[in-house]
């Protein structure tokens, strides 16, 4: 096997749940659901479910109450962001000790760039290193670009290694639905299906001009490139830097009192301001998310006159953006996001 450049994608299996199980070994083998305040009778959504819980149909983004109905024996735990960040940092530090370039893309995943004649052996070493240093399991996808490596990870889960390259692309991907591609979601899949394009092979053979009419001159042809397996090969050793800081709250009861909502908004804005100050970078934009009952979500944002970390300025901007919403129905969730300058 000749030496060449490879991209490996590392994805920590059921990460949030795995961290909690590592802290509470008595939960091993039981269905565990992490999300919100850990109260299945309260408003909130599932952040992560263990594989045992997923077997009951519990998945990320599902309301906690629905998860409790599907899996009444599940253990519900609150999200603990500082704990997850600490474990993630240990994982990434361990990966950086290997002969690879590490590009962190989130708490639980990273791309690795490596020159090797045996990528499977390197992937095995990655899995062993993560397990030894943190006790966590991970899956590793091997590819000749990031797109293929990312998709290969899906085939490797849980706790395995898989390879996807240009040589095997059509055999593995042609028959799959279009949303099997990294970057195509459910809405795009439905729109493609309405145009008679249902599989990756059909998307790869589609007329770029017709796709441009459907999705725009840049996005349409880009989807066709994805169907051919195209993707970035460059792995950059830059530390993961958050693009924004956000806080949100889900109310126990839908609220329609504007003054009460604005007070909640003020508290969220203060917490975001603290996060921005701790990050040491000024915010350039402020965005507000409002989820109306039952599940209609709207987001609006504004660019600040000048980047700032000042709590009063961020609060004023948040209140101004909130005033742009038409509050014609009760609110169940409110969120504030500060986007950093230069992002």
Instruction: Catalogue the active-site residues.
Output: 109
Strands 283-292 and 244-255: unpaired
Q: What is the CA radius of gyration of the chain?
A: 22
Q: Which two tokens stand for residue 252?
A: 């126990």
Residue with tokens 């253990």: 75
Where does the chain have alpha helices with state H? 15-23, 51-54, 64-70, 81-96, 119-134, 146-156, 169-173, 186-194, 200-204, 208-215, 219-227, 258-279, 311-322
Looking at residue 199, the DSSP 8-state letter turns out to be B
φ, ψ for residue 91, nearest 5 deg: -65, -50
Sheet architecture: strand order including 296-308: 244-255, 331-340, 283-292, 296-308
Return the closest-CA partner of residue 92 out of 32, 34, 134: 134
* Long-range own/partner contacts, residues 313-317 (CB < 8 A, 24 or more apart): 314/269, 314/272, 314/273, 314/276, 314/283, 314/286, 314/338, 315/266, 315/269, 315/270, 315/273, 317/286
Strands 283-292 and 75-77: unpaired
State how far the Cα of 270 lies from the Cα of 310, in Å rounded to an integer.
9
Neighbours of 232 (CB within 10 A): 11
């Amino acid at each position: 096997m000749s030496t060449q450049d490879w991209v490996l994608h590392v994805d920590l299996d059921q990460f949030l749940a795995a961290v909690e199980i590592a802290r509470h070994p008595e939960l091993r083998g039981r269905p565990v659901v992490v999300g919100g305040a850990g109260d299945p009778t309260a408003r909130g959504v599932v952040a992560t479910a263990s594989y045992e819980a997923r077997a009951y149909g519990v998945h990320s983004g599902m309301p906690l109450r629905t998860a409790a109905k599907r899996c009444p024996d599940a253990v519900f735990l609150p999200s603990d962001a500082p704990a997850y960040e600490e474990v993630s940092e240990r994982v990434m530090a361990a990966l950086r000790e290997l002969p690879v370039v590490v590009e962190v893309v989130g708490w639980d995943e990273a791309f690795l760039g490596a020159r090797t004649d045996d990528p499977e052996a390197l992937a095995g070493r990655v899995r062993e290193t993560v397990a030894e240093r943190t006790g966590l399991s991970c899956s590793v996808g091997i590819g000749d670009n990031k797109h293929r490596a990312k998709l290969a990870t899906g085939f490797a889960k849980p706790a395995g290694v898989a390879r996807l390259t240009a040589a095997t692309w059509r055999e593995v991907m042609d028959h799959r639905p279009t949303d099997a591609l990294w970057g195509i979601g459910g809405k795009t899949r439905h729109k493609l299906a309405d145009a008679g394009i249902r599989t990756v092979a059909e998307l790869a053979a589609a007329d770029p001009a017709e796709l441009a009419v459907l999705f725009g001159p840049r996005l349409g042809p880009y989807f066709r490139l994805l169907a051919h397996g195209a993707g970035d090969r460059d792995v950059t050793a830059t530390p993961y830097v958050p693009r924004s800081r956000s806080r949100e709250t889900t109310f126990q009861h839908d609220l329609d009192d504007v003054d009460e909502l604005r007070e909640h908004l003020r508290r969220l804005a203060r917490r975001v301001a603290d996060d921005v100050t701790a990050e040491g970078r000024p915010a350039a934009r402020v965005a507000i998310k409002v989820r109306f009952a039952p599940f209609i979500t709207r987001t609006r944002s504004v660019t600040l006159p000048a980047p700032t970390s000042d709590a009063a300025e961020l609060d004023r901007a948040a209140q101004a953006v909130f005033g742009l919403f038409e509050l014609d129905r009760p609110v169940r969730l409110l969120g504030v996001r500060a986007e950093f300058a230069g992002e």
